[in-house]
Structure 1
Amino acid sequence: PAQAIEGIAYFTVSELLQNVSKHARATRASVDVWRSADRLMLQVTDNGRGGASMDGGTGMSGLAERLGAVDGLFVLDSPAGGPTTVTAELPWRDRESEKSAVGPRTA
């Protein structure tokens, strides 16, 4: 994907895994990444205690805002008792398209 989309994806997964390690009391987490048509899909799942919410601080809501700013989606499923699954979608933009949009570089 384009570097900007790749960066947002990396940051999102990194923050979600940090949340798992700090709050979930999980013994296992998984990350799945795939492309579906014109979307980059991310899913982070853990077997922790659940109960994560969008209003429990700035973490989850901040991630949702960051994805929303680029036409992405952020879906949190975290019932009390677990497990927690976060699915994120980002628009797929090819790295090559990104380069051509900038134009040729001259020295």
Structure 2
Amino acid sequence: MVSELLTNITKHARADGASVKVFREDELLRLTVSDDGIGGADPDRGSGIRGLRDRIRAVDGHLTLTSPFGGPTAVDVTLPWRA
């Protein structure tokens, strides 16, 4: 997920920087990938985010995308933690 999201930033965001945060919260693994790019990411216009969302849902996870025009963009992913 992280690799694909960073690739999307490189290809589309025109960003100067990006960040990745990963942490465990009780029974969840939480991941946030964000950038300072132009925003406007829309899962209905391409298959990348949609495909990620489908794969995350397949393991009972959840993806939230926030990407207003003008930026920034943040993708938050929550996955069940199975030790």
Give the TM-score, by structure 1 length: 0.77
- For 2:55, which of 66, 75, 87 is the aligned residue? 66
Counterparts of residues 1-107 of structure 1 (less than 5 Å): 12-94=1-83
Give the TM-score, by structure 2 length: 0.98
Q: Which ranges of structure 1 fall in alignment gaps of 5 or more residues?
A: 1-11, 95-107
Alpha-carbon distance in structure 1 between the residues aligned to 2:41 and 2:50: 11
How far has the Cα of 1:21 moved from its partner? Answer: 0.3
Q: CA RMSD in A?
A: 0.4
How far has the Cα of 1:56 moved from its partner? Answer: 1.5
Corresponding letter in the other structure for 2:60 = D
As a proportion of its length, which structure holds more strand?
2
Identical-residue share of aligned pairs (%): 55
Q: Give deviations 1:57-96, integer Å, cap 9, x for gaps.
A: 11000000000000000000000000000000111011xx
Report runs of 4+ in structure 1 exceeding 3 Å deviation: none
Alpha-carbon distance in structure 2 between the residues aligned to 1:13 and 1:53: 18
As a proportion of its length, which structure holds more helix?
1
Structure with max Cα Rg: 1
3-state SS in 1 of match to 2:20: strand
